[in-house]
Amino acid sequence: MIDALSVLRNWLTAHDVDAFILPRGDRYLGEYVAPCDEMLAWLTGFTGSAGFAVMTEKSACLYTDGRYQTQGAQELKGTGFTLRHSARDKWDEDLAAEFPGGGKIAFDPWLHSIDWFRQNDSKLKVKHFHLHALAHDPINELWQDRPAPPTATAEIHPIQYAGETSASKCKRLGEKLLQENILAEVINDPTLAAWLFNLRGRDVPHIPIAQARGILYANGEAELFIAPEKISDALRGELEKHITIAAPGDLAESIAALHNKSVRLPGGQTPYALLQMAEHAKVTVDTGASVIAPARAIKNDVEIAGMRLAHQRDHNALTRLFSGLAGLSAGGMTEAELTKTIAAARAGQADYVDESFPAIVGWQGNGAIVHYRPPESGSAEIVGDGILLVDSGGQYRCGTTDITRTFAVGTPTARQREIYTRVLKGHFAIARAQFPVGTTGAQLDALARQYLWEIGLDYDHGTGHGVGSFLSVHEGPQSISNRPNTTALQPGMILSNEPGCYLPGEFGVRIENLILVAPTDRANFLKFETLTRVPYDEALIDRVLLTAQELKQLNDYQVWAKKS
Q: For residue 167, which phi and psi values (nearest 5 degrees)?
A: -60, -40
**Separation CA 125–CA 102 (nearest Å):** 9
Quick check: 281 binds a second copy (CB under 8 A)? no
Q: Are 222 and 197 in contact (CB under 8 A)?
A: yes
Among 422, 435, 380, which Cα is nearest to 510's?
A: 422
Distance between start and end Cα atoms, the chain? 52
Instruction: With CA atoms as reference, report the closest residue to 535 among 426, 411, 407.
Output: 407
- Size of the residue set binding a second copy (CB under 8 A): 25
- State the DSSP code for 126: H
Choose between 153 and 549: whose C-beta lies nearer to a second copy.
Answer: 549
Task: In angstroms, give the least distance from the CB of 453 to a second copy.
Answer: 5
CB of 547: closest distance to a second copy in angstroms? 6
515: β partners: 495, 530
- Based on its alpha-carbon atoms, the radius of gyration of the chain, rounded to whole angstroms, reads 24
- Choosing from 180, 434, 538, 551, the residue that interacts with a second copy (CB under 8 A) is 434
Candidate segments 69-77, 78-86, 142-150, 432-440, binder of a second copy by CB under 8 A? 432-440
Single residue of 234, 344, 350, 446 touching a second copy by CB under 8 A: 446
Is 520 among the residues that bind a second copy (CB under 8 A)? Answer: yes
**Minimum distance of a second copy from residue 340's CB (angstroms):** 38
456 touching a second copy, by CB under 8 A: yes
Shortest Å, Cβ 402 to a second copy: 24
Least distance between a second copy and beta carbon 276 (Å): 26
Question: DSSP secondary-structure letter at 66?
Answer: G
What is the rounded distance in angstroms from the CA atom of residue 233 to the CA atom of residue 223? 17
Return the residue of 323, 349, 443, 490 that touches a second copy, per CB under 8 A: 443
Helix 441-453 with 414-431: angle, nearest 10 deg: 160
Considering only 89, 240, 385, 458, the residue that binds a second copy (CB under 8 A) is 458
Instruction: Between 88 and 563, name the residue whose CB sits nearer to a second copy.
Output: 88
Other Cβ atoms less than 10 A from the Cβ of 491: the count is 16
How far is residue 164's CA from residue 196's CA, in Å, rounded to a whole number?
10
Nearer to a second copy, 190 or 426 (CB): 426
Work out which of 19, 170, 442, 489 binds a second copy, going by CB under 8 A: 442
Range in contact with a second copy (rule: CB under 8 A) among 18-26, 385-393, 453-461, 553-561: 453-461
Of the candidate spans 96-104, 273-281, 371-379, 439-447, the one that interacts with a second copy by CB under 8 A turns out to be 439-447
52 to 81, contacts with a second copy by CB under 8 A?
Answer: none
Q: Please select the residue that binds a second copy; options are 62, 433, 541, 554, rule is CB under 8 A.
A: 433
Q: Does 429 bind a second copy (CB under 8 A)?
A: yes
Burial code (b: 16+ CB inside 10 Å, e: under 16) for 178-209 equals eeeebbbbbbbbbbbbbbbbbbbbbbbebbbb
Cα 24–154–251 angle (5° rounding)?
A: 65
Q: Nearest distance from residue 458's CB to a second copy, in Å?
A: 5
Question: Using CB under 8 A, which of the segments 188-196, 268-276, 442-450, 497-505 binds a second copy?
Answer: 442-450
Please identify which residue in 74, 119, 160, 547 interacts with a second copy, judged by CB under 8 A. 547
- Closest contact distance (angstroms) between CB of 549 and a second copy is 9
Binding mask 464-503 for a second copy (x = CB under 8 A): ------------------x-x-x-----------------
Shortest Å, Cβ 521 to a second copy: 8
CB count in 10 Å sphere of residue 294: 18
195 binds a second copy (CB under 8 A): no
Handedness of CA 348, 351, 354, 356 (dihedral sign): negative
Q: Which of 232, 332, 381, 453 binds a second copy (CB under 8 A)?
A: 453
Question: Would you put residue 281 in left (φ > 0), alpha (ψ -120 to 50) or beta?
Answer: alpha
The Cα–Cα gap between 345 and 321 comes to 8
Closest by CA to 46, choosing from 63, 29, 26, is 63
CB of 439 to a second copy, least distance (A): 8
Residues lying near a second copy in the complex (CB under 8 A)? 429, 433-436, 439, 442-447, 450, 453-454, 456, 458, 482, 484, 486, 520, 522, 524-525, 547
